[in-house]
Amino acid sequence: PQLVASNDRFCRFLEEYCPVVTETYYPTIWCWEGRVQTLLRPFITSRPQVQYRNELIKTADGGQISLDWFDNNDSLYYPDASTRPTVLLLPGLTGTSKESYILHMIHQSETLGYRCVVFNNRGIAGEDLLTPRTYCAANTEDLEAVIHHVHSLHPSAPFMAAGVSMGGMLLLNYLGKTGRDTPLMAAAIFSAGWNVFESVESLEKPLNWLLFNYYLTTCLQSSISRHRQMLEKLFDMDLVMKARTVREFDKQFTSVMFGYRTIDDYYEDASPCRKLKSVGIPVLCLNSVDDVFSPGHAIPVETAKQNANVALVLTSCGGHIGFLEGIWPRKCTYMDRVFKQFVQAMFEHGNKIFSM
């Protein structure tokens, strides 16, 4: 992979404590193409068994958020729950704590002795919508509430976050807003869409629309159809359910819900590339340049070079949340290995970044 970072100390830290970012990534030879990796990963990769403890927390506007905790009370390395390192996980656009990539991150964290908590966006993890509001990539209020809540429960525990796809976009937008004023010590971002205009344009190309866009739109519609009675108070749901692209859905629903004058205003606000320069804690971002959800030309390489807290790891293959490797890639992906090494590096050696 290509490692992009302006800070020599951050580079040396990664090379020593997260060496996977300097290893050659060999994609699974029979499904190396990005779209194939993206399509096959959910079906090929295993689903580790995880027992969650669910918690519903109330929000300032009267809504509720579902958190799924993996407490790891059997942790040998960190038996004291008050100081057990905690990783907050943010799934993708319509993802929940049941996604295979989230389960693998928890499995990796379990072996290291860490605790995990999954932030499920409003209304998609089986809980009821108490107000006519869901979520979007630009609005960080719910994430701020969750981070404050988790930190207040375990104020002495080292605290990190990892976001995947839209979860990564949301996390980056939060970090760009808060700078250093966050209880998080570091963050890992996987397959984020950096520029939403470029992402939707890529997804509207004929083959990509057929393979991804239409299906993703139906997933979005399905995620809100259960709450139709609540949402009909504010939206023309018949019109929303007629959307055939993500852009149409966002125009009729998401941008309206969050008070944007136009969909372009929403997409501009949702694009993390515009906030990357303000990130104030160490962040590692993994992208593949053949990701149709986040095309390579839209990855903000030059902006990343202007922020000493940011490191980009760019592979030529891997697709969107793919990164399959080995002949039969059932278990660990390259993305899983980057996640495991980086969180371990930060929790156990993070204080050395500034002394190297």
Task: Judge residue 122's burial from the number of C-beta atoms within 10 Å of its C-beta, 0-12 exposed, 13-18 middle, 19 or more buried.
Answer: buried
The answer, yes or no, to whether residue 355 has pLDDT greater than 80, is no
Indicate if 185 and 216 belong to the same structural domain. Answer: no
Note the pLDDT of residue 122: 96
Quickly state the pLDDT bin for 256 (edges 50, 70, 90).
Answer: very high
Mean pLDDT of 245-253: 97
Of 241, 270, 299, the position where a domain reaches its end is 270
Note the pLDDT of residue 195: 98
Mean pLDDT of 311-335: 94
Indicate if 113 and 245 belong to the same structural domain. Answer: no
Of 228, 250, 270, the position where a domain reaches its end is 270
Q: Note the pLDDT tens digit of each residue in 28-68.
A: 999 889 999 999 999 899 999 999 999 999 999 999 999 99
The answer, yes or no, to whether residue 183 has pLDDT greater than 80, is yes
Is residue 97 part of the annotated active site? The answer reads: no
Indicate if 87 and 208 belong to the same structural domain. Answer: no
Indicate if 62 and 189 belong to the same structural domain. Answer: yes
Mean pLDDT of 242-251: 97
Task: Judge residue 111's burial from the number of C-beta atoms within 10 Å of its C-beta, 0-12 exposed, 13-18 middle, 19 or more buried.
Answer: exposed
Of 270, 288, 321, the position where a domain reaches its end is 270
Note the pLDDT of residue 32: 81
Is residue 290 part of the annotated active site? The answer reads: no
B/e letters for 278-313, b = 16+ CB within 10 Å, e = fewer, are ebebbbbbbbbbbbbbbbeebbbeebbeebebbbbb
Active-site choice (104, 109, 320, 336): 320
Share of the chain above pLDDT 70, in %: 99
Active-site choice (75, 97, 165, 271): 165
Indicate if 164 and 302 belong to the same structural domain. Answer: yes
Domain that holds residue 328: 2-194+272-352
Indicate if 81 and 125 belong to the same structural domain. Answer: yes
Note the pLDDT of residue 100: 96
Indicate if 134 and 227 belong to the same structural domain. Answer: no
Indicate if 27 and 102 belong to the same structural domain. Answer: yes
Quickly state the pLDDT bin for 330 (edges 50, 70, 90).
Answer: confident
Q: What is the CATH number of the domain that holds 151?
A: 3.40.50.1820
Indicate if 80 and 138 belong to the same structural domain. Answer: yes
Indicate if 220 and 344 belong to the same structural domain. Answer: no
Tokens for 253, please give them: 């629903």
Mean pLDDT of 71-79: 96
Indicate if 129 and 144 belong to the same structural domain. Answer: yes
Judge whether 312 and 3 are in contact, CB under 8 Å.
Answer: yes
Is residue 104 part of the annotated active site? The answer reads: no
